[in-house]
Amino acid sequence: MPALPVVTGAFVAGTLLGALLGGPVTWTMLLVATTVIAVTLRSREHLSWLVLIAAVAFAGVGHLRALSAAESQQRSEAIEGTHVLSGVVESPPDVRGTTRFFSLLVDEVDGAPRHIRVRVIVPATGQVRLGDRVELSGELESPRDGASPGARQRGNDLGVEAEVAFPSRWRVIGHEPPSKIDSVLGALHERSIANIERVLREPESSLAVGMLLGVQQAMPERLTRDLRATGTIHLVVVSGQNVALVLGLAVAAMSAGIPRRRAALLALLLLPPYVTLVGAQPPVLRAALMAVGLTLADVLGRRTPGWVFLVYAAAAMLALDPRLATSLSFQLSFSATAGVLIVAPPLRDAALTRLRVTSSGALAAIIEVAAVSTGAALAVAPIQAAAFGVLPLLQIPANVLSAPLYEATLVAAALAALLGGIADLVTPLRLLLTPAPAAFLAVIRALATPRALLDTPSLSGGVTVAWYALLVAIVWLFARGKPVALAPSARSGVALSLLLLGANAGLWHAALKPTESNASVTVLDVGQGLAVLVRDGGHAVLIDAGPPDAAVVGALSRAGQFATLDALVLTHEDLDHTGGATAVERRVGARQVLAASDASHPSTGIIDIGDRMHLTARTTIEVLSPPVLSDSAPRSDNDRGLVLLVTIGERRVLLPADIEAAAETWLVQSAVDLDADALVVPHHGSKTSSTPAFLAAVHPQVAVVSVGAHNAYGHPNAEVLARYADARVLRTDEDGDVTLTSDGQRLWYHAARQ
């Protein structure tokens, strides 16, 4: 047993024990000493007492640093309250719904020097960019879980020590431009996403962006749920596979002109910019550090086990920031990798020996993938149970079946990112690259059944320790056999077979999928905003595009709208109605964009009062407003928005956008027939709308409120909701997507969460 892995492993153990369990340092040192003695007694080469003393000492140091980090966090929480902060924006701002998140590196608190990292949440309308110096006044609070300011953040979000949500005052007072490297990488990141979205449609586009770059912001809710249910959510987090792909492609390209070992060393130069590009999150840092160690060992001709470099990577990261020990992504990444490197090989060798399978061939490759999936699943099970309260029952078969499709999708995403900017290649690339992610999605959907999750009770520390002790015993038992080397050709053969099978199944699934014969109007759940999808006979029109976080793209995917839209109609200029328009045009596609005559969006057409759009002979969309300008006509931006009436045979659905009392009064007095079976409640249920006279004229049986949960505007207003006592009221924040379906004679409604 080498001395260095023992000492660094003791440091890791001490840090983890101090961060997760606390307590006196003495018992940690005693536990490490006992473990080291037991290991050295079982090994052929006994460790010296000097190594034992060093291991115990480093375990104590790790424990103390973890306790110190926890105390530092408590001191940061002590400054909660209203303060004036000044600092620099250190991460690219991220828009979600109608809010904008960014990380602020504060250097002054109330005019006094103080260095802390603060997460800031402001309205999406506020403009701020990386490198801006911001001054704000607001309530400083402890950071909330799950409010990370961006799927791609170059800083470490774990270091966020406080949060300011909607400061009472904030302004940009200067700018410190990022380095040229950061600027170039930022532009490359955005260009890669744009190229992928240009080549692939949804939901394949979101899947590819998530796999290659770790951006999950616009991933459809259903896809995220299916990935969690099958235990494959880790496949859309940038990790070791991505690092291996980057290094492998670089080495393969350079090996054509220089020796492979020299190419491997040069390829390591790509790691720092790649880590910066995708975000320096724990899984990425772990993979990068291990890649450096493994590459150097290979170049030097040393046969060092992979788990040694895993220990080194953990020690380096915990030495830089002991708080990583409590990070869920750190725990999952390292435990899963340990399962692959330590648990999987003896399981694989035992299966090959028992089944008398040679080390080459398709069956051997399947056993290899199954062993890897089983090892990772066993290693992360206690952490999953503690963090999520559930365990995916089909995690192992899902990972086995999706493994080759994952690799193919990752390659497809990389090709789309590199070549998607060439206009002439977009169509052939789409035809060539779509089958891999489509087959991956088909496999995940098939396995993500409602019974795929097992509820688990809260696990105590003792149960977790017992689990890992049992796992160590199993590994020791199986490891006594002779290792078996798996031929590389076995993996590629089964990967190609499974890829072709999955692609074939995916294509047949798409070809045989039944079509909907009825027309529908779906109020999409896009948070605090509005987006309504009207469909009939293969034609589709999207009315408004929701807020700028592009939630509408995921909502369209949930609704099964993957084909290009016939039209995108923008009712007015508010950001919660037009913010997702660019994403819709780029990622889903629209043959034309229509808006009122005074709209600033670069539309291909203008529509006004009296215009009609015919989806089919049964379904039309008619413009009832804005009113013609006159002395009595309302002139506010909201009141001049488009009011649309969707007619499906004899059934009518009214979409009044954000009109307020003045426009409602004009409509009532205009003698226009406002009677409708269903109404999308104007202005998200604001108290400025839904006047009694307007509701009396419409007299809806169903009223749908498009609203974000816990929004800052108090929508919908309780008094306004009371006015809809005679209607069936549905809300997107509570009921999800709401679909109104009609055959022209009858009207049905369905809520996604009912």
Least confident of 32-36, 192-196, 746-750: 32-36
Residue 322 pLDDT > 80: yes
Residue 512 pLDDT > 50: no
Give me the CATH code for the 79-178 domain, please.
2.40.50.140
Q: What is the mean pLDDT of residues 261-270?
A: 80
pLDDT of residue 263: 81
Least confident of 167-181, 225-239, 335-349, 647-661: 225-239
Rounded mean pLDDT of the chain? 79
Exposure class string for 217-231: b at 16+ Cβ within 10 A, else e: bbbbbbbbebbbbbb
pLDDT of residue 545: 93
Residue 23 pLDDT > 80: no
Model confidence at 131, pLDDT cuts 50, 70, 90, reads confident
| Chain centroid offset of residue 544 CA | 24
pLDDT of residue 125: 67
Q: What is the mean pLDDT of residues 281-306?
A: 78
Helix axes 180-199, 426-433, angle to 10 degrees: 70
Identity of the highest mean pLDDT range in 158-172, 216-230, 371-385, 426-440: 426-440
Residue 599 pLDDT > 90: no
Q: Which amino acid, 613?
A: M
Residue 516 pLDDT > 60: no
Q: CA torsion, points 463, 464, 466, 471, in degrees to nearest 10? A: 140
CB 444 within 8 A of CB 398: yes
pLDDT of residue 32: 72
If one compares 182 and 704, the residue with the highest pLDDT of the two is 704
Fold of 519-751: Metallo-beta-lactamase; Chain A (3.60.15)
pLDDT of residue 457: 63
pLDDT digits (tens, 9 = 90+) for 532-542: 999 998 899 99
Q: Is 162 helix (H, G, I), strand (E, B) or coil?
A: strand
Identity of the highest mean pLDDT range in 122-131, 262-271, 577-586: 577-586
CB 718 within 8 A of CB 496: no
Q: What is the mean pLDDT of residues 289-313?
A: 81
Exposure class string for 406-437: b at 16+ Cβ within 10 A, else e: bbbbbebbbbbbeebeeeeebeebbeebbbbb
Q: What is the mean pLDDT of residues 621-647?
A: 78
* pTM, two decimal places: 0.61
Q: CA torsion, points 683, 686, 690, 692, in degrees to nearest 10? A: -170
**The domains spanning 79-178 and 519-751 adopt the same CATH topology:** no
CB 541 within 8 A of CB 615: yes
Cα 130 to Cα 89, 117, 183, 315, 546, distances in angstroms: 5, 15, 10, 31, 25
| Chain centroid offset of residue 44 CA | 47
Least confident of 447-456, 554-563, 723-732: 447-456
- Write down the residue that tokens 């110096």 correspond to: 133
Q: What is the mean pLDDT of residues 544-551?
A: 88
Name 206's Cβ contacts closer than 8 Å, sequence gap at least 6.
216, 218, 219, 220, 223, 553, 554, 557
pLDDT of residue 373: 81
Distance CA 402, CA 499 (A): 9
Beta strands in 439-550, from DSSP E residues, in sequence order = 453-455, 519-523, 532-536, 539-543
If one compares 127 and 659, the residue with the highest pLDDT of the two is 659
574, two tokens: 């508010």
Domain positions in the chain are: 3-76, 79-178, 519-751
Q: What are phi and psi of 98, to 5 degrees?
A: -100, 20
Residue 252 pLDDT > 70: yes
Distance CA 28, CA 64 (A): 10
pLDDT of residue 644: 96
Distance CA 648, CA 215 (A): 39
pLDDT of residue 674: 95
Cα 238 to Cα 241, 285, 647, distances in angstroms: 8, 10, 47
Residue 501 pLDDT > 60: no
If one compares 69 and 171, the residue with the highest pLDDT of the two is 171
Cα 272 to Cα 247, 281, 318, 392, 749, distances in angstroms: 12, 13, 19, 34, 52
Model confidence at 668, pLDDT cuts 50, 70, 90, reads very high
pLDDT of residue 486: 46
Cα 151 to Cα 210, 237, 621, distances in angstroms: 9, 10, 38
- Among residues of the chain, what percentage have pLDDT more than 90? 21
DSSP letters for 345-409? HHHHHHHHHHHT--SSSHHHHHHHHHHHHHHHHHHHHHHHHHHHSEEETTHHHHHHHHHHHHHHH
CB 584 within 8 A of CB 561: no
Model confidence at 219, pLDDT cuts 50, 70, 90, reads low
pLDDT of residue 444: 87
Least confident of 404-408, 446-450, 455-459, 672-676: 455-459
Least confident of 43-47, 661-665, 699-703: 43-47
